[in-house]
Each structure stands twice: as structure tokens, then as C-alpha cells.
Homo-oligomer: A and B are copies of this chain.
Amino acid sequence: MPTTEAKEIRLLGTCPDQVGLVARVTRFIADRACSIRQAAQYDDPRSRTFFMRYSIDASRFDGSAGAFASAFQPLAEELEMEWRVVDATVKKRVVLLVSKFDHCLAYLLHRWKVGDLDCEIPLVISNHEDLRSLVEWYGIPFEHVPVSKDPDKKREAFETIASLIDTANPDTIVLARYMQIFPPWLCEKYRHRVINIHHSFLPAFAGAKPYHQADERGVKLVGATCHYVTEDLDAGPIIEQGVVRIRHNHSIEDMIRNGKDVENTVLARGLRLHLDDRVLVHGNKTIVLE
């Protein structure tokens, strides 16, 4: 965390609910001459768990986000809070993984270039060479790591990938239609920081070829799901979903074509929520503090 003074700080937390909780946290903030720009809380009535996100104007706070965090530590302990302080002036680092389907990649890169995604993209990794030129046009390093079907070679490939990721030191990893299963040990290492886009309205049509499944079932809407990746394939906490109508005369190719619009939109929206630190995970669900 940088030691320069942060103008905007985000304070995220999850803890058991209790009387006076908000008063104590917001008093802490006010006592540091900070004002709250945006506050969002949620008190889950079933688990009696409290979730909070404060976007804080820290321009009059005399210190870094790290200093703010250190000061908050004792109160957090007292409240048994899982928490983090984020310096909102420091861009998050996002590594993208992609295969050959490049629509999500192209969409994210463009939105990023024009300033609609508030992050840095230090690296794109792919198991194919095809997209090097596009990625490099955006001035982003591209690494080609082929993934073999042979289990030993596949493990090696993911060790290479893990090492590339570690060097890039990302806050977030996005699987932008990456057609490989992300190994559990990597999921665990980057827990709730790996985002996937699945091309169906989950839990309908989990697994491979969802548009083919949708065609077979004869549904009237197809969708896309942006979710955190967990060991349990296609079953991680859902961040965002969307749908689009289809008609009986749509071929699978038409579904794919129309589905891309939804995939792009849902992934961009989900990633934006994540980059804004608006998504808290609770069990297998997300609390989205808009």
C-alpha cells in the first residue's frame, strides 16, 4: 500500500451484527476528519451478519490508506470483523486469460482503453497465439502458454501460468472465455479474485456447449453469468447475470451471435462492480453493495 496520502479510501467489512455497530464505525471515520461519500450496508436477517462498504473522502486525513487501516485494526478486532481498506486512487491490476473466442477480450480491452474500466492490465495469457496482435496493439504484454491434454504437461503449463501471474502481481484475474479448467489450487490461491464469464443463465446449462444445450431444451431466453471461480465448476458465487430473447428460427449460430452481446455486457458490468469493491462474498452468494 502506498504511503502517499489517499484522497479516496474504501472500507469493506463483514461481521456479526450488534447494536451500535454503524455508529462506532462511522464515528471512527468522522474522528479522522473523513466524510462518507457513499455508504452501503446490508444486514442479513438469517445469519445476523452485517456487510458494509464505505467510500470515504479522505482528503483531510493526514496519512496513507495504510495508516487509516492501522488505526482501524483495533476496532475491527473488537467487532470480529473481516475487513479491508482499499486506496481507491491506486488502480487494480487485472490479468486476463483467453483462448480463441475473443469477443469478451476485445470488449474489455476497448472499454479499458477509453477509461471505462478503472484498472491496469499488465498481462494477457492465452493458450493460443491468435490474439497476440490485438493485445499488443493495445500495448499490453501477451504470453502464449499452450495447455496440453497430457496431465503432466497440463500441470506444468499451469505452473508456468501461475508464475507469470505471480510476477504480474494482479489483484484480479479474469477468465474471458478461457476454455481451460482453472486448477483448484490456483482458485484457492486467488480466492474470490478470479472472475469467469459463463455463456448461460446459470444454473441452467452448466458445463460445456451451453448454447447447444439451450437449443436442445427449446428455451425462449439465453443468458450469461459472471461469477467467481471456485473449485466447484460453474458453481461459484454469482456476481451478475443477463438474458436476451431468442426465437424458434434462431440457429445455434444466431444464439451464439446474440449471446455475445450479453456476455460482453454482463462481464463488463460484473468486473466493474468488482473493481469498485462493491462485491462481498457470503457463503456461495454475493452481496452487491451498489
Q: What residues of chain A have their CB less than 8 Å away from a CB belonging to chain B?
A: 17-23, 26-27, 29-30, 33-43, 45, 102-103, 106-107, 110-111, 114, 116, 133-134, 137, 201-205, 217-221, 223, 237-243, 245, 247-249, 251, 257-258, 260-261, 264-265, 268-269, 272, 284-288, 290
Contacts and interface: CB of A to CB of B under 8 A. Distances in A.
Interface centre among A219, A220, A264, A285 (most CB of B within 10 A): A220
Given A19-B35, A201-B201, A116 B41 contact: no
A218 B41 contact: no
- Total identical chains: 4
Nearest to A221: B241
B27 A23 contact: yes
A220 to B, nearest CB: 4
A249 B38 contact: yes
A23 B218 CA distance: 30
A3 to B, nearest CB: 24
Contact of A110 (B38, B103, B287): B103
Given A204-B204, A243-B243, 11 more contacts: A27-B27, A36-B41, A40-B41, A116-B257, A203-B219, A220-B241, A247-B288, A257-B272, A258-B269, A261-B269, A265-B265
Contact of A241 (B33, B111, B219): B219
Contact of A238 (B218, B223, B284): B218
A286 B203 contact: no
Contact of A221 (B102, B114, B243, B247): B243
